[in-house]
């Protein structure tokens, strides 16, 4: 019962004297207040099943994977809401007055309050969504929490994957050949060659422009090889100072020089023992180290800095470069014998402009990855995708991803059409924006295939000429160069086509 002072105060304000009535009134008032002012409310029973949601909460259902309320209500709360702690409140009976939670619907500030019956036993929990990620006053905090939570989850997933693949914590490949996206003839051919290379123990040399996916293919070749359970170790030669490369490759003996680690340092060749060593940007290797690398590859042993002992190793080498190695050999900048040692199984990785039909699939994969990292690009219309497929892409997939990231940051629209994408490409610094490619012709039916061969060839030639003229905006000289024919031949083909049309 309240004290006399409290009683007089209640009487002065004309409030009911009955404590139970006051508590009931307070509970009802608070419930109505939260129901109207919050972003959503949920009730679970003593078995942690959802028994009620209010109107505001219903807007979260599609993001949580439910179209109908009846499919959500009645289910265990842990089955329908990711990262919930409602069951914990049921178990402990202690409220969680404010907390941050991230699930499929977004990031929210929430409260969880236990509900007790007359005997004091917890009979349910009231969950209140106080603020969501669109609330302007808490948006910076919730956005930061969401990023931290995502980083934590990604780190946990990567750690779990590494532990499941290798119990001793050794380095493993991150990708498989299926990670090389594309079904074009060029992409299919490079994957065929990579699968063939995976069956061998000979060195592989990946050749291609920057950003084409050479490192991903190296991971995939290792993952498909008999060495898949062994370490995959990579060295980006261009990123390591010349003075440190020898130590990076072969290791350092204990106390080899002033400042050296007393315990010594294991080189990458030994770290990769039994597995694969990936030498990225091999064309940037300084000439003084090339002879030592050649000897190590031939003998299967290396001598750490400051040591007189040879350390044996068994590694399969995959090298990659975006430079013209034969030209470097002719210029005396790359040892010819090392080139022949590495160029046993060469695999040319095609640039993006040679597999334009793969660009829509790449856009989808890159967009999903960006969305997973919290920075989804806007939806692209068919015209915008066709425009992207027409570009030269000097930086290949890396440049394509950069444009998609710029689209996410520079545009407020949820969808980009052709004009908006063209403006974005110009803003991104593209030297020349190519016009969108014409749509692919529908596959011919069986009746069309029964036409005379000459008619089918003429039809294909007509389409090729039309596409070239459209790509060059009617510039016949440029169209002829694009088709690999002379301008006179182009005029001749165009005259023949006109004559055929007039005679028909």
pLDDT for 6: 36
The pLDDT confidence band at residue 161, using thresholds 50, 70 and 90, is very low
| pTM (two decimals) | 0.56
Burial bucket for residue 377 (CB in 10 Å: 0-12, 13-18, 19+): buried
pLDDT above 70 (res 168): no
Strand-pair partners of 114: 125
pLDDT for 462: 77
Rounded-to-integer distance, Cα 254 and Cα 398, Å: 41
Lowest mean pLDDT among 77-86, 204-213, 415-424, 429-438: 429-438
Residues 32-40 have a mean pLDDT of 76
Residues 60-71 have a mean pLDDT of 84
Per the listing, tokens 């800095």 go with 305
What are the residue boundaries of the structural domains of the chain, listed by start?
A: 38-141, 177-350, 354-427, 452-503
Residues 270-296 have a mean pLDDT of 91
The pLDDT confidence band at residue 259, using thresholds 50, 70 and 90, is low
Rounded-to-integer distance, Cα 409 and Cα 177, Å: 31
Q: Report which of residues 251 and 450 the model is more confident about.
A: 251
pLDDT above 90 (res 9): no
The vertex-66 CA angle with 62 and 71, nearest 5°, equals: 150
Residues 371-391 have a mean pLDDT of 87
Rounded-to-integer distance, Cα 178 and Cα 16, Å: 72
Q: Report which of residues 228 and 10 the model is more confident about.
A: 228
| Rg (alpha carbons) of the chain, rounded to whole number | 33
Residues 185-205 have a mean pLDDT of 91
**What is the Cα 494 distance to its own chain's centre?**
46
- Residue from 336, 284, 334, 293 nearest 317 by CA: 293
Rounded-to-integer distance, Cα 307 and Cα 33, Å: 76
Residue 201 contacts residue 274 (beta carbons within 8 Å):
no
Residue 93 contacts residue 124 (beta carbons within 8 Å):
no
Per the listing, tokens 């993001």 go with 63
User: What letter would DSSP give residue 85?
Assistant: -
What are phi and psi for residue 390, nearest 5 degrees?
-90, -10
The pLDDT confidence band at residue 151, using thresholds 50, 70 and 90, is low
pLDDT for 352: 93
The pLDDT confidence band at residue 369, using thresholds 50, 70 and 90, is confident
- Residue from 473, 454, 472, 465 nearest 498 by CA: 465
**What is the Cα 319 distance to its own chain's centre?**
24
Rounded-to-integer distance, Cα 94 and Cα 78, Å: 18
The pLDDT confidence band at residue 4, using thresholds 50, 70 and 90, is very low
pLDDT for 181: 87
pLDDT for 208: 94
Alpha helix positions (H), 260-381: 268-271, 287-299, 325-330, 336-342, 359-372
Rounded-to-integer distance, Cα 247 and Cα 272, Å: 15
pLDDT tens column, 328-350: 999 999 999 999 999 999 999 99
Q: Which fold has domain 452-503?
A: Arc Repressor Mutant, subunit A (1.10.10)
Residues 362-384 have a mean pLDDT of 86
pLDDT for 137: 56
pLDDT for 319: 96
pLDDT above 60 (res 447): no
* Both structure tokens of 194: 């990579």
Integer angstrom CA distances of residue 287 from 235, 246, 263, 302, 457: 17, 12, 30, 18, 52
Instruction: Spell out the CATH class of 177-350.
Output: alpha beta
- The CATH number of 38-141, from 3.30.450.20, 3.40.50.720, 3.30.2350.10, 3.30.70.270, is 3.30.450.20
CATH 3.40.50.720 fits 354-427, yes or no: no
Mean pLDDT, the chain, whole residue set: 79
pLDDT above 60 (res 443): no
pLDDT above 60 (res 416): yes
pLDDT above 60 (res 88): yes
Residue 107 contacts residue 145 (beta carbons within 8 Å):
yes
User: How crowded is residue 138: how many other Cβ atoms within 10 Å of its Cβ?
Assistant: 18
Q: Report which of residues 16 and 181 the model is more confident about.
A: 181
């Amino acid at each position: 019962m309240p004290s006399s002072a409290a009683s007089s105060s209640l009487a002065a304000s004309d409030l009911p004297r009955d404590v139970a009535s006051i508590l009931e009134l307070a509970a009802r008032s608070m419930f109505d207040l939260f129901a109207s002012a919050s972003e959503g409310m949920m009730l679970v029973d003593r078995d942690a099943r959802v028994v009620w949601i209010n109107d505001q909460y219903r807007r979260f259902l599609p993001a949580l994977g439910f179209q109908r309320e009846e499919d959500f209500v009645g289910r265990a709360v842990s089955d329908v809401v990711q990262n919930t702690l409602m069951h914990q409140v049921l178990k402990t009976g202690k409220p969680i007055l404010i907390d941050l939670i991230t699930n499929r619907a977004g990031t929210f500030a929430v409260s969880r309050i236990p509900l007790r019956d007359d005997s004091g036993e917890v009979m349910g929990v009231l969950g209140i969504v106080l603020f969501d990620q669109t609330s302007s006053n808490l948006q910076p905090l919730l956005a930061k929490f969401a990023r931290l939570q995502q980083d934590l989850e990604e780190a946990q997933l990567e750690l779990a994957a590494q532990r499941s693949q290798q119990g001793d914590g050794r380095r493993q490949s991150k990708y498989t050949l299926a990670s090389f996206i594309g079904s074009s003839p060029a992409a299919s051919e490079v994957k065929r060659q990579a699968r063939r290379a995976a069956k061998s123990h000979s060195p592989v040399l990946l050749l291609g422009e920057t950003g084409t996916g050479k490192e991903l293919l190296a991971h995939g070749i290792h993952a498909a090889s008999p060495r898949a359970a062994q370490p995959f170790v990579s060295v980006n030669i261009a990123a390591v100072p010349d003075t440190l490369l020898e130590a990076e490759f072969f290791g350092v003996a204990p106390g080899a020089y002033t400042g050296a680690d007393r315990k010594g340092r294991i080189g990458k060749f030994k770290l990769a023992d039994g597995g694969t060593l990936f030498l990225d940007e091999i064309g940037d290797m300084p000439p003084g180290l090339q002879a030592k690398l050649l000897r190590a590859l031939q003998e299967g042993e290396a001598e750490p800095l400051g040591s007189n002992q040879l350390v044996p190793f068994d590694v399969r080498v995959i090298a990659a470069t975006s430079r013209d190695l034969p030209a470097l050999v002719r210029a005396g900048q790359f040892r010819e014998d090392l080139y022949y040692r590495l160029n046993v199984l060469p695999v040319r990785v095609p640039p993006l402009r040679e597999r334009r039909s793969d660009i829509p699939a790449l856009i989808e994969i890159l967009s999903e990855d960006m969305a997973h990292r919290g920075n989804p690009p806007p939806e692209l219309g068919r015209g915008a995708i066709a425009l992207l497929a027409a570009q030269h892409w000097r930086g290949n997939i890396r440049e394509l991803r950069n444009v998609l990231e710029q689209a996410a940051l520079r545009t407020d629209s949820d969808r980009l059409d052709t004009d908006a994408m063209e403006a974005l490409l110009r803003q991104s610094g593209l030297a020349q924006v190519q016009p969108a490619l014409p749509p692919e012709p529908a596959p011919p039916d069986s009746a069309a295939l029964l036409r005379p061969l000459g008619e089918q060839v003429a039809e294909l030639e007509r389409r090729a000429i039309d596409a070239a003229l459209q790509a060059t905006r009617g510039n016949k000289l440029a169209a002829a160069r694009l088709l690999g024919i002379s301008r006179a031949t182009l005029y001749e083909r165009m005259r023949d086509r006109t004559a055929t049309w007039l005679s028909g």
